[in-house]
Structure 1
């Protein structure tokens, strides 16, 4: 994953249309994409390369079915640290990055310090994840868990509404 290290120029309507189409079908050919956005192939390809170079497009991924992989249990866990310091935050971050079952981890404001999203096979794996792994992380003091009973909406598609506008780009 490439992290943007410099500012990106304002995205125009064509950039946003390209991004919208790529979010829906990253395997689309440049020829088909160019046709859909009203460009010839070369300028369309150049725009894609620029968006990649600028870090707007971070990568292309296959979306997998967790059920097919035996990862049917989705859990969210709030973790509260025993103290707030740069050293503890860095130690926690370093260890959490090593855990493959953790899909997301966010430092948040509020009563707890971190919000974690994990996919695991079954409840016994959850007990192990919480008791033996998460609560053993540097500085972890307290946790609160949420077991997902039904996934109502999950998407990686970002809204392409222009910053100065309330309408979405089709």
Structure 2
């Protein structure tokens, strides 16, 4: 990846639906250059998909929780299992006491309990600590 790729990715992070013409103009290159770059980044697995970000208050009944996880053994196997868990909205590799941080999004406390039970049952997870998100004070 070069500087143009990094600047393009930054623009896409801000607005993944930005028209190619707008991206090209903002980055000072031809539309074909942007189209080719995006195709290459997708083909090479750098860009793996596009997503929708919701306003925090757009799903008021949704429960958000953060689960810190300690992993023993094959972390890649644990990561694959967590990425297949529907309740895991995001997964982060961390340092310090915990190895992974999972953002959970569920519809109820009962569903949160079920998701946590499935996560704690994944082979290789040795400890976990979960905090329920009450409110965002600064976004």
Task: State TM-score, norm by structure 2.
Answer: 0.70
What is aligned with 2:73? Answer: 85
- Distance in 1 separating the partners of 2:34 and 2:104: 37
> Which structure 1 segments of 5+ residues have no match?
1-7, 154-170
Structure with greater proportional helix content: 2
> Which structure 2 segments of 5+ residues have no match?
none
- Greater Cα radius of gyration, structure 1 or 2: 1
The alpha-carbon deviation at position 36 of structure 1 amounts to: 3.0
What is aligned with 1:133? Answer: 118
CA gap of 1:125–1:24, structure 2 versus 1, over 3 A, is: same
Match status 1:30 vs 2:20:
yes
Match status 1:146 vs 2:131:
yes
Match status 1:122 vs 2:122:
no
Q: What SS does structure 2 have at the residue aligned with 1:22?
A: helix
User: Within 5 Å, which residues of 2 pair with 1:1-170?
Assistant: 8=1, 10-12=2-4, 15-64=5-54, 72-81=62-71, 84-86=72-74, 89=75, 92-130=78-116, 132-151=117-136, 152-153=138-139
- Distance in 2 separating the partners of 1:107 and 1:25: 24
The alpha-carbon deviation at position 147 of structure 1 amounts to: 0.9
- Distance in 1 separating the partners of 2:31 and 2:94: 43
Q: What SS does structure 2 have at the residue aligned with 1:149?
A: coil
